[in-house]
Amino acid sequence: MAAVDPDEYVVLDEFQDALEEQPEANKRDLEISIEDTRHAVNLFFNNQFDEAVAFMEPKANESMYHSLGFATLSFIKAVMTCDEKDVNKAVGLTKVASSVCEKFRKPNNLTDRLVNLSISADENNYTQEQLHAELCYAEALLERALLTFVQDENLMNFIKGAVRSRTCYMSYKKCVQYLVSHFWTDENIRSHYESGVKLGYGTFNLLVSALPQRVLRLVEFAGFSGDRVYALNALKSAAFMHHTLRWPLSALVLLVWNLIVVYCLGTGESDLELSKTLIRTLFMHFPKVTHAMLL
C-alpha cells in the first residue's frame, strides 16, 4: 500500500477550516452591512439625507444592503419630489440593487439544480445571507415596480410594472415561508428579516387592497393577495420592532396610509391614535425628523 503524504492531511484540515469559517465570515459581513444601513436610516430620518447617501454609495455595487439602502434613499426622494430626473435615477439604482442582490441569492439555474441533487438536505438549506438576499431582491423589485407605474403612463410600462409586481410578490411569498420554516441560528438576524418581510409583504397587500373592487377581484383571481387587515397588522407589528432596520420605514408607510391615502381614496377610517403614537415615536428616536411633518 502506498504511503500517505502527511502534507495531504494538512491541506485537508486547512480546507475544512476554510469551509467552517466561511459561514461565520458571511454572517459577520451581513451583520455589518445591516448595521451600516441602520446608520444610514438614522441619518436620513434625522434630516441628513446627503450624509446618508454619501455613507451608502461607496459599497453600493458590492454589498446587497448598501446597494438596497442607496436605492431606497433615491426611491423615497423620487416619491417625495415626483421629479422625472429623480424618478429615472431611482429606477436605475433599483436595477443595480436587483443585480447586486441576485449575486447573493441561492443559485437557481439548471446546472446548479443538477449539482444540488448530490448535496444532502441539510447542506442544501438556505444560508441566512441567502435569505436576506431574497428579501432585499424582493424589496428592490417592489420599489422598481412602483416607480415603473409612475415613470411614464403608457401600456408598455404598465405591463412591465405588472410583470415585476408578479415576480416581487412570488419572492415575498417565499420569504414568508422561509421566516416560519427556516431554522434560525441568530435571533438578531432573524428579527431584521421578520421586520423586512412584514414591511414588504404588508405594503404589497395594502397597495393591492386599495385597487377598485372590480380590479381587485381580477388581480386576486390572478393569484395576488389584497388582505388589508393582514397588511395593516403586519406593518404595525414591524413598526414597533424598534431594534430592527426597517421599523421606521414601516411607520412611514402607515403614516402615509392613514394620513393621506385613506382620505384621497376614501378607503375607510384613518387610525389617528396609531398615527399620533408613530409620530411621537419617530420624534423620540429621531429628534430632527421632518418627514413625518411633511404628511
pLDDT at res. 122: 40
Contact 195, 246 (CB under 8 A): yes
163: cell is 410583470
Q: Please state, in angstroms and rounded to a whole number, the distance separating the CA atoms of residues 7 and 231.
A: 59
Of 277, 291, 251, 274, the closest CA to residue 46 belongs to 291
10: cell is 494538512
pLDDT at res. 155: 56
> pTM for this structure?
0.84
pLDDT at res. 114: 46
Amino acid at 131: L
pLDDT at res. 83: 92
Q: Please state, in angstroms and rounded to a whole number, the distance separating the CA atoms of residues 217 and 237.
A: 27
Cα angle value 9/10/11 (rounded, 5°): 90
State the CATH class of domain 32-105+127-183. Answer: mainly alpha
Describe the chain by its helix, strand, coil percentages, rounded to 5. Answer: 80, 0, 20
Q: Please state, in angstroms and rounded to a whole number, the distance separating the CA atoms of residues 277 and 251.
A: 10
pLDDT at res. 12: 44
Residues whose CB is less than 8 angstroms from the CB of residue 160 and which lie 6 or more positions away in sequence, other chains included: 148
User: Burial of 16 by CB count in 10 Å (0-12 exposed, 13-18 middle, 19+ buried)?
Assistant: exposed
Q: Is the dihedral of CA 267, 269, 273, 274 positive or negative?
A: negative
Q: What parts of the chain have a pLDDT lower than 70?
A: 1-25, 109-124, 152-161, 221-222, 291-295
Domain with CATH 1.25.40 in the chain: 32-105+127-183
